[in-house]
Structure 1
Amino acid sequence: MEYIEDEYLMLSGIQHYYFCERQWGLIHIDQQWAENTYTVEGQQLHTKADNPTVKEKRKDMFISRAIRVSSGSLGLSGILDVVEFYKDEKGISFQSKRGKWQPYIVEYKRGKPKKDERDIVQLVAEVMCLEETLACHISSSYLFYHSVNKKIRVEITDRLRDLVSDFCAKMHFYYQHKKVPNAEYFKNCRLCSLYDICMPRMSKKPKNIDNYIENAIHNER
């Protein structure tokens, strides 16, 4: 399925969706938002990383910031923190530069590496969008965690690509039908800035909702 530009969802939202489907729905469908310490610190970090006036260049590498990307196949669009380009004969050409260059995304995060794959899923979605934007292939990219000053290489596997595609299809289903997923209560709910808006203890997600969505998406294809 190919989405038109008016149907694109926010690229950054896929991390919200992985972490909590309801959180994503409250933010991206109901337009609800609330700040806490974590969200403010994260915004400050991305403001520095996304500054397009900050440039760096070496003989065999240059950095681009705040690159706009999109994907018609995923129906996502957004802005990347940092993309590092290294000289590589298997890379892509630019009119203003000699030779060919291979891109690698560096996604900046406030905290430390997670036990789950929420950050990885976002990075893979960014890679897939950049691949469509630049008509290239990217086999790996990086997550940089500010609090531990650590840069982690992530292999962009077929499993992760399929997971991103599946999430995007479900996100579009919810968004098209203007349906915010029901709440589930987790031990980390109290850390969420939307806890008082969400009220996760007040409702439970029907057990068969995933099957319902899977069937609906399959019938639309």
Structure 2
Amino acid sequence: MDNPWLSLDYLRRSGDEVWEHLVIHASLTVQALAIAIAVAFPLAVLARRVPRLAGPILGTAGVLYTVPSLALFALLAPYTGIGRTTVLIGLVIYALLVLVRNMIVGLEGVDPDVVDAARGQGYSRTRLLLTVELPNALPSIVAGLRIAAVTTVALVTVGVVVGYGGLGQLMFRGLQSNYHAQIMTATLLCLALALVMDLAIVLLARWAMPWARSGRRARGRRAAA
């Protein structure tokens, strides 16, 4: 019996199921990144404001990151149950190290002269953070977010160990039944989702950093001259 790796017939017959798992996969990725950003940013600001805390914060995130994903989901399951919550917590934990590290690097890389000038104009700490430090740290933050997004898309599939792996469910079933089309379809959709997420972040970053575009154009004009 023919068992192709690519099959439109499989998509016609199982299109609804594939779409359902793709939506689960994408929503888990976006939700995990949103929560991780919300947790990582205050930690990065705290590490920036109190340098002696930077080591413990990064150290803790690093230790959590080294725990194998299968083991982490298995350890969480008795306390958070089988399903979405367990996978979501694991994804947030893995995204934290990359995000916190890049946020700290970005904030520490802001030109001290720019910060001093803003303070001299009477900027409060909050205004200084939001209007001076954060915009200047965005390139580093965006780089970390891109890495975290692609990594999270891949890690969602491991959630199959607790019964909530998005496209990983299709991969696992395909491996169990040796159904090549199911395995390849889920794999290609994971790759496509990672590319779409990365492209969306790049486009959002370009919109959020118009000065970077104008800077590149200015450098291009100088090079042409």
Fold conserved (TM > 0.5)? no
TM-score interval for Structure 1 and Structure 2 normalised by the shorter chain: under 0.3
User: Higher RCO, 1 or 2 (CA under 8 Å, sep at least 6)?
Assistant: 2
Query: Which has the larger strand fraction?
Result: 1
TM-score (norm 2): 0.27
TM-score (norm 1): 0.27
